Amino acid sequence: MTKKTKKKGSNINEQKKGIKTKSKKSSKNTKKKEKNNVANENIASALSYFILGIIWFFVDEKMSKSRLAKFHVKQAINLWITIVLLNFLSALLFFLAPLISTLTGIFALVFIIIGIINSLNAEKKELPLIGQAANKYLKF
């Protein structure tokens, strides 16, 4: 009988160890999942500065729930509206079209790079000059 109780006791200790290792493994898994979610959120936010990323935001439920992604989508939509308006202005002022188009392209490239860097660093920094309008006028 004592042999059986020793075996049962050792099984209980082994089971306790198993529970501890399982909890350690599960905490490691949750940390990995959190890191993956943060990385995915940052990448999704960076992609929002491209038209495909904006479409993805409105289609994917996980992305639309992310505050960081929502912030950067608003900034990106505002940037693209500004680019379209500047191009329209260059069409109206045909004698300044080459200058305005060139400046609009440089403006767009610089602001897209700023937005991508901010989103990859998980920062909610507004784009210079136009960022405040996004929070003021874009409500979703």
Higher pLDDT among residues 63 and 1, named by residue: 63
CA distances from 67 to 24, 86, 99, 118 (A): 30, 29, 37, 14
Residue 113 pLDDT more than 90? yes
Percent of the chain at pLDDT above 70?
Answer: 74
Of 113, 108, 103, residue with least CA distance to 130: 108
pLDDT of amino acid 49: 92
Domain count, the chain: 1
Averaged pLDDT for residues 42-64: 87
- Quickly state the pLDDT bin for 74 (edges 50, 70, 90): very high
Averaged pLDDT for residues 9-30: 56
Domain that residue 59 falls in: 2-137
Q: Please state, in angstroms and rounded to a whole number, the distance separating the CA atoms of residues 69 and 74.
A: 9
- Quickly state the pLDDT bin for 23 (edges 50, 70, 90): low
Which segment of 15-24, 39-48, 80-89, 115-124 scores lowest on mean pLDDT?
A: 15-24
Q: Is the pTM of this model over 0.85?
A: no
pLDDT of amino acid 16: 53
Structure tokens at 70: 């929502």
- Quickly state the pLDDT bin for 109 (edges 50, 70, 90): very high
Q: Please state, in angstroms and rounded to a whole number, the distance separating the CA atoms of residues 47 and 41.
A: 10
State the Rg of the chain over Cα.
26
pLDDT of amino acid 8: 52
